[in-house]
Amino acid sequence: MKIKFVNLRLHNFKSHRDLSIEFGDKIQITGENATGKSSIFESISWTLYGTDPLGSKLDPTPITYEADETFVSLLINVDGKEVLLGRELKKGKTKYFINEVPSKATEFNELLEKLFDKDLFLSLFNPSYFPSLHWEKQRSMLLKYVTAPANKEVLKELPEEQAKVLSELLKKHSLDDIEKVHKENKNKKDKAYIAAQSRTKTLKEQLEEQAPTVPLDSLNAELSALKKKRAEIEKITDATGETNARINVLQGQINALLRERDQLKEDFSIIKAEKIEDTCRVCKQPLQGDAVTAAEQEKQARMDRIKQQFDEVVAKRKELEAELQSLEYIDVSEQLSKVREIQEQIYQIEAEINKHKQFELLQKQVEQAQADEKETLESLNNSIFVLDSVKAFRAKEAEIQAGKVQELFDNLSIKLFEELKNGEIKPTFEIEMDGKPYRKLSLSEGIRAGLELRDVLSRQSGVITPVFVDNAESITSFKQPVGQLIISRVVAGQELKIESETSKSDEITVDIEVIE
């Protein structure tokens, strides 16, 4: 985009009642101090933005006389298309004009935004504007027009291992996300590693305290011998136990049969002593003839049944007593006592063997704890390595980017980054000339620095605008800037003089006393 000023008209702007300027390729404004040279400079920025050339608030009203209104119009050419912009201040109210048509402030500002960016325009128009911005704004503007180093470009300059790790991670995540993930993991693993070390130490101490004193093979051999001895004794006690149990059963059965026998004898005696009544024992009806005989027969039948049961019980008892006589009770209390003693020894050995099992379990826990500790440390070290790689990437990226920016300048040094004590790279922005920061430059040095900065911005953005060099008398030489050149310088004792020149070629011939 190429922007040129065509015509500027001032009406009651500061010291200028009526002034019209036709712009050529170069404009020289000369005169004594306080003749209105800088006011011309200010009128252009006021028309466009209502500010002075540094973007600050500006009062455009006349200084040495009174007037009801202030009006400025600026005819500009943008890539061959002309537009006339005007701003009027009357009784404290501002009016806007586009091609002489009254317009709203929003319409006026929207048109300007479509034509060009405010900060970029003022930086190109006024060499002192860009250095007046906050360093973050300066940095952002300059880097906006400088291609950032590609990841591949940076990775190529890193050590092989760092490049390999970051190359894979950058396929899925941005550098910022990689840093966030591994910062969080590092914080977690820092704590986890301390805990893992503590657990391993505690388990090792327990392992030392619980180490068995008797070898497991010896315990197993002793246990096997005791179990064998116990089995041999139990074989005997089991066999005798069956006989003794049978004896106990027989004695119980015999005693029960004796009780049953005695009960049957008693029942028999009772029935035998019964008298045949003249009434039925059951229905109480009088008994006569056959009925009495039947009653006697029923009594006898009951007695016979009891006698039969009695004989059966006696026979069964005698049978059991005969079996009992054939059995001999064996006393195994001594063997059982030995079994209890052996079992107590077995318990003690099994307790010792269990210590071996607990020890083996503890050993596995120690091994697992050591593995967890190792895994945690590996994860921690990996995150530390990744974070160091990210730091190295940013440092190398900053170095490459700074190199690209520095290549744009001939006389200026641009500082884009500074390294902190922890090795991290912090964004910054500082302009230096001959080793001096911009804020310490003289007026003439500041102008030259500003011109070089605005020419770099112009080339990188592709936008060409007029440039106003104020106080040109303070410098003896500077490089021909890109775009229309407006020079303002003090000439003692001279009234305001404006000279416009138009070049027949792309090169402008400048007076030797101003520009070499």
pLDDT digit of tens for each residue in the chain (516 aa)? 999 999 999 999 999 999 999 999 999 999 999 899 999 999 999 999 999 999 999 999 998 889 999 999 999 999 999 999 999 999 999 999 999 999 999 999 999 999 999 999 999 999 999 999 999 999 999 999 888 899 999 999 999 999 999 999 999 999 999 999 999 999 999 999 999 999 999 999 988 888 888 898 999 999 899 999 989 888 877 777 778 788 888 889 989 989 989 998 888 888 888 787 666 666 666 766 677 787 788 888 888 998 999 999 899 989 988 888 888 776 778 888 898 999 999 999 999 899 899 989 999 999 999 999 999 999 999 999 999 999 999 899 989 999 999 999 999 999 998 888 877 788 999 999 988 999 999 888 898 999 999 999 999 999 999 999 988 888 777 778 889 999 999 999 899 999 998 765 443 334 423 332
pLDDT of amino acid 209: 87
DSSP string, 449-488: HHHHHHHHHHHHHT-B--EEETTGGG-S--PPPSS-EEEE
Token look-up 């210590």 returns 355
Rounded distance between C-alpha atoms, residue 40 and residue 515, angstroms:
21
Question: Side chain identity at 77, as an amino acid letter?
Answer: N
Dihedral of the alpha carbons of 362, 364, 366, 371, in degrees to the nearest 10: -160
- Partnered with residue 436 across adjacent β-strands are 433
Closest CA to 477 of 439, 512, 515: 515
Name the token pair of 497. 């003089």
pLDDT of amino acid 288: 66
Cβ proximity of 80 and 71 under 8 Å: no
**Vertex 212, ends 206 and 213: CA angle to 5°?**
130
DSSP string, 20-82: EEE--SEEEEEESTTSSHHHHHHHHHHHHHSB-TTS-B---S-SSS--SEEEEEEEEEETTEE
Rounded distance between C-alpha atoms, residue 493 and residue 176, angstroms:
62
Name the token pair of 163. 């490049």
Rounded distance between C-alpha atoms, residue 376 and residue 439, angstroms:
51
User: Which CATH number does 3-134+470-501 carry?
Assistant: 3.40.50.300
- Partnered with residue 5 across adjacent β-strands are 76
| Cα dist from 333 to 241, 243, 448, whole Å | 11, 15, 121
Closest CA to 367 of 513, 200, 484: 200
| Cα dihedral sign, 463-469-470-471 | positive
Neighbours of 496 (CB within 10 A): 18
| Sheet of strand 81-90, all strands in order from the earlier edge strand to the far edge | 16-22, 3-13, 69-78, 81-90, 93-98, 101-103
Name the token pair of 20. 């019209």
Rounded distance between C-alpha atoms, residue 397 and residue 414, angstroms:
15
Q: Residue count of the chain, please give it.
A: 516
DSSP element (H, E) containing 233: helix 216-272
Q: What is the DSSP letter of 147?
A: P
pLDDT of amino acid 293: 80
Model's pTM, two decimal places? 0.64
Q: Is 492 helix (H, G, I), strand (E, B) or coil?
A: coil
Domain extent listing, the chain: 3-134+470-501
| Cα dist from 42 to 47, 57, 71, whole Å | 9, 11, 13
Neighbours of 506 (CB within 10 A): 6
Rounded distance between C-alpha atoms, residue 447 and residue 475, angstroms:
8
DSSP string, 415-435: EEEEE-TTS-EEEEEEEEETT
Could you give the count of Cα atoms lying within 13 Å of 354 in the half-sphere of its Cβ? 6
Rounded distance between C-alpha atoms, residue 98 and residue 28, angstroms:
28
Closest CA to 38 of 355, 472, 404, 357: 472
Per-residue burial over 379-405, b = 16 or more CB atoms within 10 Å of its CB, e = otherwise: bbeebeebbebbbbbbbbbbbbbeebb
- Between strands 26-31 and 485-490, the pairing is parallel
Contact partners, residue 285, CB within 8 Å, separation at least 6: 279
| Cα dihedral sign, 102-107-112-118 | positive
- Between strands 425-433 and 26-31, the pairing is unpaired
Dihedral of the alpha carbons of 117, 122, 124, 127, in degrees to the nearest 10: -160
